[in-house]
Structure 1
Amino acid sequence: MHLSTDMRRAYALAVRRRALTAQGVAEELGLDEPEADRVIAGLVELRLLQQDAEGDLFAAVAPDSAQLRLLGPLVREISVMQEKADRIRADLGSLLPVYWDEVESAAGQIEVVRDLDVVLTLIEEFSARATTEVLTSQPGGGRPVKQLETALTFAQELLERGVRMRTLYQHTAQFHQGTAAYVVHVAPLGGEVRTTASGFPRMLVFDRRVAVLALKGHPEGALVLRNENVIDVLVDTFERTWVGAHPFPLSYSKGQIVHVSSEVKDAIMRLLVVGESDKKIAARVGLSLRTCQRHIADLMQEIGARNRLHAGYLLYEQLAKSDADVLK
């Protein structure tokens, strides 16, 4: 209720006269009776006038008393609502530590590291703590000599402590002199190395508790995972690839070379069928782009393909027939 000018004048009149009537208000303030009645009703609603028992006279009430009488119920209602809000705030607030502990724990299970020195330090630390097994997969063919020297020191320390170590390479790594020399050193110590034609992620898994993966777009960085569920998936992928892989040969024969070449060719064919680019095919089978393009050109000439699309169609039919023969 807004306190109008007429209501202010009527209240002042009531204070001076101690009591007044609606008729008196009309006469003193020059109002008609309906207007005077509205003014009196408004002051009563604001608790600034109090009606006597007979209902004819209205006495002025002190503003502070009127305020208490008018706002009391509202203040009590606000107080109740405030108490309710405080209880809700306290109850929900008590859950914040639970929430943030879990969030921080989850965040700690995935760590992005972009500095090579930090990555190497972490790998050294994880290696020193490993007690059961380390799984490594190194796609892309042979590795640089410096990396192989570091890997050899890393592998020797693990194997001498009795930690099992299994490594996956792609077939093309068999023809890399540095990688072959690495395998010759670790095999007598118990290191197990296999190769496969298909691609797989670059990673290290320590005791199936922490994994270090290549960081996309940052060749010197790494993604460190500590989430057991994610690591289980990575290990399962490794195991599936391991079962179908072949032991890294310590010596070579013509038959071995032919077999490896055949598997690489088959992998290229399957990737061509699904429409992968030359660059992606090269990365998946561990060949340089130029070597891979030469293999693709030879393959297209061999099957008589007019273009890439025609090659995909012919290879699809050839692979379908080959797979059907295997199932017979």
Structure 2
Amino acid sequence: MFRTLGGGVLVTSHSNATHPHASNELCEEGSRLYAAALRSGRIARTDAEPVPCLMDSALLHPDPDDPNWLRPVPPAIALAQRLNPIEREITERRQLATDIAGVFEPFMSIGGQSSSGGGSITVLEGGERINNALNLATAQCHTEMLTVQPSDRMPERSALRGLERDKPLIERGVRIRTLYQHTARYSQEKLAYAAHMADGKVEYRSIDELVERLIICDETVAFIPIRDDQQVALELRHPGLVRYLVKVFEFMWNRAVPLSAGAPYETAPDGITDIQHSIAKLLVEGHVDEAIARRLGMNVRTCRAHIAKLAQVLGSGSRAQLGYLIAQSGILDQKIPGEGGFR
């Protein structure tokens, strides 16, 4: 599946049948035929007729030597065609940000901030104001940016905002370190974003459990949400508070695993993976499935599948017995690599 800006719904008629799906997606049959065309170098036009999205999205084009055949557009070219509009929009928005900053630059030296704590703690209400404050902080960042991103789906709009903020930082030589949860390893959006931003100064690690988002720029300003809907945040510029949050980040970072490593989901000698160790700990603490799934950044169905595996390994016949067997097994006394987060 590929994602691009814009979108809408693609509804193409063929033989009185519709072939509807989002224009920024590739359906299962389209994926199969495109892969077959890439492997063989071409595909019969009649084979592609039931899947008109391949032609509509310019992944196939007519064979100049034989009109009965279609040739695939190389994936690198197809990807570039979809990324170019995004890159152009990023450049335009970056110029707009520069122009707006120029308007307010004459006022930056004027004091008398009215925020509590002499400007050291500012309440930001609304997504637009939060994003504007983040854009300003990252534009002024020159050394390092630290981010904590609990696992959830990364929508296209969020990915675009991330590219807008992070790319200029990398170009300025700013180091970026980002913490995800282990479940990010199964998020194609996050993996694609990490691959796109891959650079010597950009590092991604994952850990079993994270509590909330956190962004720190140059160890001088930090942003934390204070409401579950992410519509209210605090901008912190108090040196003591920011230093404390940096130490918390470093504590988690040192216990996290590089995103490219497979260790967090490998099965230990006792037959239980590290993520299942984390689930076992939360089970014994009395958390319900929904709370465990939320804390570990996974859906409830995946969480329950891990719990079923735990029950199978430990020979449990009931939920109550499972808690007892976990406590008796001693698995909670073992060191869990990558364990960390706010407890």
The question of a shared fold, defined as TM-score above 0.5 by the shorter chain, is answered with yes
CA contact (8 A) 1:160 1:189 kept: no
Q: Distance in 2 between matches of 1:315 and 1:263?
A: 14
Q: Say yes or no: does 1:165 pair with 2:176.
A: yes
Is the CA contact (8 Å cut-off) linking 2:177 and 2:202 kept in structure 1?
yes
Quick one: which amino acid aligns to residue 266 of structure 2?
Answer: V
Q: 1:325 deviation in Å?
A: 12
Q: In structure 1, what is the Cα distance between the partners aligned to 2:140 and 2:174?
A: 10
For residues 310 and 223 of structure 1, the distance between their equivalents in structure 2, rounded to whole angstroms, comes to 44
Q: Give 2:133's match in structure 1, choosing from 109, 112, 122.
A: 122
In structure 2, C-alpha distance between the alignment counterparts of 1:138 and 1:241, rounded to whole Å: 12
Paired amino acid for 1:205? I
CA shift, 1:239, in A, is 0.5
Equivalent residue in structure 2 for 1:135, among 146, 149, 154: 146
Q: Conserved in 1, the CA contact under 8 Å of 2:148 and 2:180? A: yes
1:285-324 map, 5 Å: 285-319=296-330, 323=334
Q: Distance in 2 between matches of 1:257 and 1:266?
A: 11
Q: Structure 1 residue 201 and structure 2 residue 212: aligned?
A: yes
Identity %: 32
1:187 aligns to what SS in structure 2? coil
Q: Which residue does 2:27 correspond to in 1?
A: none
Does the aligned pair in 2 maintain the 1:173–1:179 contact within 8 Å? yes
> Residue type of the partner of 1:169?
Y
What is the letter of the counterpart of residue 123 of structure 2?
A: V
SS across alignment from 1:188: coil
Q: Return the alpha-carbon distance in structure 2 between the equivalents of residues 308 and 107 of structure 1.
A: 53
Q: How many residues end up aligned between the 2 structures? A: 223
- Residues 312 and 121 of structure 1, relative CA distance in 2, 3 Å threshold: same
Q: CA 1:194–1:104 in structure 2 vs 1: closer, same or farther (change >3 Å)?
A: closer
- CA offsets, 1:121-180, max 9 Å, x none? 000000001111110010124422321222122111111111111000011111111111
Pairing 1:185–2:196 present: yes
Tell me the secondary structure at the aligned position of residue 290 of structure 2: helix
Partner Cα distance (2:275, 2:309) in 1:
13
> 2:277 touches 2:331 (CA, 8 Å); kept in 1?
no
What is the Cα deviation at residue 256 of structure 1?
7.4
Partner of 2:280: 269
- Given residue 291 of structure 1, which amino acid in structure 2 is its aligned partner? T
Counterpart Cα distance in 2 of 1:218 and 1:324:
34
Letter in 2 for 1:290: R
Deviations 1:291-316 (A, max 9, x none): 21232233234323344343222212
Instruction: Select 1:217's aligned residue among 228, 232, 245.
Output: 228
Quote how far apart the aligned CAs of 1:104 are. 6.4
- Preserved CA contact (<8 Å) 1:141 1:169: no
TM-align CA RMSD: 3.0
Rounded Cα–Cα distance in structure 2 between residues aligned with 1:108 and 1:168: 28
User: Which residue is equivalent to 2:266?
Assistant: 258
For structure 2, the residue ranges without an aligned partner over 5 or more in a row are 1-111, 338-343
Q: Which has the higher helix share?
A: 1
Displacement, 1:290? 2.6
Give TM-score scaled by structure 1 length: 0.61
Q: 1:320/1:300 Cα in 2 relative to 1: closer, same or farther (>3 Å)?
A: closer
| SS of the residue 1:294 aligns to | helix
Instruction: Decide which of 246, 252, 264 is 1:235's aligned counterpart.
Output: 246
Cα distance in 1 for residues equivalent to 2:336 and 2:134: 46
Change (3 A) 1:257 1:300: closer
Contact 1:193 1:247 in 2 (8 A): yes
2:15 alignment counterpart: none
Cα deviation, residue 324, structure 1: 8.4
In 1, the alpha carbon distance for the partners of 2:321 and 2:240 equals 42
CA contact (8 A) 2:326 2:332 kept: no
Give 1:226 deviation, angstroms: 1.7
Cα 1:321/1:201, change in 2 over 3 Å: closer
**1:115 Cα deviation from its structure 2 partner:** 0.4
TM-score relative to the length of structure 2 = 0.58
Instruction: Mark the structure with the bigger radius of gyration.
Output: 1
Q: Distance in 2 between matches of 1:325 and 1:241?
A: 13
In 2, the alpha carbon distance for the partners of 1:247 and 1:268 equals 21
Question: What SS does the corresponding residue of 2:212 show, helix, strand or coil?
Answer: coil
